């Protein structure tokens, strides 16, 4: 039965580049391993790691002098670390992290054949290397899984209760669910992420493109709903399965995530409370305002957005020109500054309604864009 599952995984999930995009060479003078054709970099170390299933995998470790976190990156099903080399180096620089990437068994210059259970052994070997070779603590590790890489990432994350964080990039609910939206988990399914993500105790960021034609965005959204500790997700409008790194929002959101998870537990708890409000967008369209007495958060503020037209329409009805001019100038100043000032009753009525309406509409647009 296990052989059938492994065979199915190999046929449906794994497409290692053939030939591999790099060669493994040893520098004669130093004995260092290098990824050819990439030049040697002082902050990049290439390793060969044994796994508990008898294979030997190739990994690369990128150092950053100001790093507070270490990212363990599990790549997608049609790439190897030669193709990921430049991205790994750039992520280390822009995010200020140490980063380890590795090739699954049967990928690149790693020995063996790719299989679901081999990938579990592969990521465990990479994590063990971080602990033993680099003294990395579990509390400083961020697991990053892209596409099929979300499988070994969540398998390991479910076993490590003190992880700093997890990032899921275009993740899958399970292997079978990529092919067909089944309602239950079958014994022959692979990478049952839908069953494992509720066991992850650390903050989870999910990134998915809304136009992903390989793994539908609904996979990422359903996994986000199942997270214990959710972080604001990134749904990239128009993004597909292989181009999310090209969006400016990608790095910006990752930096925001890192700055949050690297904070103290108390600060993270405060953020979590604010994100909990995001989970109920239909009940509250303006999650970050002080709660209002009005239960009609969508329709009621719209009256204030029409206020300017009403004032213009009824301008000729005002006998007291000075009174009208004062009211109009107050409203115009609100639009220019976009800040709420509480100096008198008439101005408060206009300013507060206008600001609430603007925030509510902006928030709805963000929700619909996701």
Residue with tokens 């009805």: 317
For the question of residue 212 being annotated catalytic, the response is: yes
Q: Please enumerate, as own/partner, the contacts of 156-161 that have beta carbons within 8 Å and a separation of 24 or more.
A: 156/120, 156/123, 156/124, 156/127, 157/196, 157/200, 157/202, 158/196, 158/197, 158/199, 158/200, 161/201
Q: How far apart are CA 331 and CA 111, in angstroms?
A: 70
Residues in the chain: 370
Q: How far apart are CA 116 and CA 104, in angstroms?
A: 10
Please tell me which residue in 69, 147, 170, 360 is annotated as part of the active site.
147
Q: How far apart are CA 71 and CA 55, in angstroms?
A: 23
Helix (H, G, I), strand (E, B) or coil at 56: strand
| Joined tokens for residue 220 | 């990422």
Rounded to the nearest 10 degrees, what angle do helices 116-134 and 150-157 cross at? 60
CA 182 vs. chain centroid, Å, equals 25
Q: Please enumerate, as own/partner, the contacts of 360-366 that have beta carbons within 8 Å and a separation of 24 or more.
A: 360/285, 360/286, 360/297, 360/298, 360/301, 361/305, 363/281, 363/285, 363/286, 363/287, 364/285, 364/298
| Joined tokens for residue 262 | 């690297």
Please tell me which residue in 110, 241, 351, 360 is annotated as part of the active site.
241
For the question of residue 337 being annotated catalytic, the response is: no
Please tell me which residue in 80, 122, 212, 216 is annotated as part of the active site.
212
Tell me phi and psi for residue 288, to 5 degrees: -105, 10
For the question of residue 306 being annotated catalytic, the response is: no
Tell me how far apart the terminal alpha carbons of the chain are, to the nearest angstrom.
40
Q: Residue 34: beta bridge partners?
A: 25
Residues with a catalytic annotation lie at 147, 212, 241
């Amino acid at each position: 039965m296990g052989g059938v599952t492994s065979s199915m995984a190999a046929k449906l999930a794994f497409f290692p580049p053939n030939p591999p995009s790099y060669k493994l060479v040893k520098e004669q003078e130093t004995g260092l391993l290098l990824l050819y054709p990439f030049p040697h970099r002082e902050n990049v170390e290439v390793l060969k790691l044994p796994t508990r299933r008898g294979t030997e995998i190739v990994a690369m470790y990128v150092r950053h002098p100001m790093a507070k976190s270490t990212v363990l990156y599990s790549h997608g099903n049609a790439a190897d670390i030669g193709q990921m080399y430049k991205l790994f180096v750039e992520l280390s620089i822009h995010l200020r992290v140490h980063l380890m990437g590795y090739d699954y068994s049967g990928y690149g210059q790693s020995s063996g054949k790719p299989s679901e259970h081999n990938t579990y052994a592969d990521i465990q070997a990479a994590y063990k290397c971080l602990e033993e070779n680099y003294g990395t603590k579990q509390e400083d590790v961020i697991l990053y899984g892209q596409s099929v890489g979300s499988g070994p990432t969540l398998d390991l994350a479910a076993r490590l209760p003190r992880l700093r964080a997890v990032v899921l990039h275009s993740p899958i609910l399970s292997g079978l669910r990529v092919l067909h939206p089944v309602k239950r988990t079958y014994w022959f399914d692979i990478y049952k992420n839908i069953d494992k993500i509720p066991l992850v105790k650390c903050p989870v960021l999910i990134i998915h493109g809304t136009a992903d034609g390989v793994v539908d965005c609904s996979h990422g959204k359903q996994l986000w709903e199942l997270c214990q500790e959710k972080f604001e997700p990134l749904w990239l409008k128009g993004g597909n399965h292989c181009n999310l790194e090209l969006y400016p929002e990608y790095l910006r959101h990752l930096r925001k995530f890192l700055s949050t998870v690297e904070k103290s537990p108390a600060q993270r708890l405060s953020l979590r409370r604010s994100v909990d409000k995001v989970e109920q967008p239909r009940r509250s369209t303006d999650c970050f305002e002080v709660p209002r007495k009005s239960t009609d958060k969508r329709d009621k503020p719209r009256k204030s957005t029409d206020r300017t037209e009403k004032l213009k329409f009824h301008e000729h009805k005002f006998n007291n020109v000075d009174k009208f001019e004062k009211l109009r100038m107050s409203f115009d100043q609100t639009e220019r500054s976009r800040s709420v000032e509480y100096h008198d009753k008439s101005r408060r009525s206009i300013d507060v309604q206008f600001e609430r309406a603007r925030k509510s509409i902006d928030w709805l647009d963000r929700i619909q864009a996701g």
